[in-house]
Structure formats: structure tokens, C-alpha cells
Homo-oligomer: A and B are copies of this chain.
Amino acid sequence: MEFDHKVPIYIQVIRDIKIAIIKGQIGLGEKLPSGRDLALQYKINPNTSSRIYKELEQEGISFTKRGLGTFVTEDQQKLIEIREELSEGLFDNFIFGMKEIGYQKDEVIEMLNKKYK
């Protein structure tokens, strides 16, 4: 994975993990790599791993068992929440931004159709 040096690494990795979860590449309840392994995988410092897992835990996406490791929550509801959080953010940003620069619904949709080709 290549990092965009304009946005914090930990943010990018968190996003990456969230996407892996909602795509089912990482199952609910599954063990996540140890902090050290995550550091190796993404070529980051173990401290950064630790920060990543801490944030995920705070969002209720993972939890940790002392001495055992970090695990994905088993709460199915979370899956939906994550997906919504991610898409919601994209929609809001997009729609609000387009309004701000003066585009109406119809124009936006027409342009979107073109862009998607």
C-alpha cells in the first residue's frame, strides 16, 4: 500500500481496515494482526499500529484481549454503521460542495453520468 503523504498514515490505514471489514475480507470476531505484524505489513512503526488499534477500539470496531490480541467486534450492526459513516461522509462533502459552487441536482447527475464512463 502506498501512502498519500498529505494525510496521516494512521488515518489511511484505519480507512483501509474499515474497507476490508465492510467488504468481508476481514470477518466479524476475527483476530487482527498483532501490532508488530501490522507494522511489518504496512511498513510503519509499531507505535503507529498501536494508535490505529486504539482508534478502532474507540469507534467500537475492535476490542482487545490483554495478552491475546486485537479482535474485530462481533456486532453486525457495526458493519452497517461503518459503511454508512464512510458513504455519508462522501455524500455530504460532495453535495454540499457542489451546491456551494452553484451546481443544481440535474447538472450534477448529468455530469456524474459522464464521469462514470
| A contact set with B: CB distance below 8 Å | 5, 8-9, 19, 22-23, 58, 63-66, 83, 86-87, 90-91, 93-95, 97-98, 100-103, 105, 108-109, 111-113, 115-116
Contact = CB atoms under 8 A, between A and B. Distances in A.
Give the oligomeric copy count: 4
Contacts of A22: 101-102
A112 B91 contact: yes
A108 B58 CA distance: 29
Contacts of A58: 58
Nearest to A82: B101
Contacts of A19: 100-102
B111 A91 contact: yes
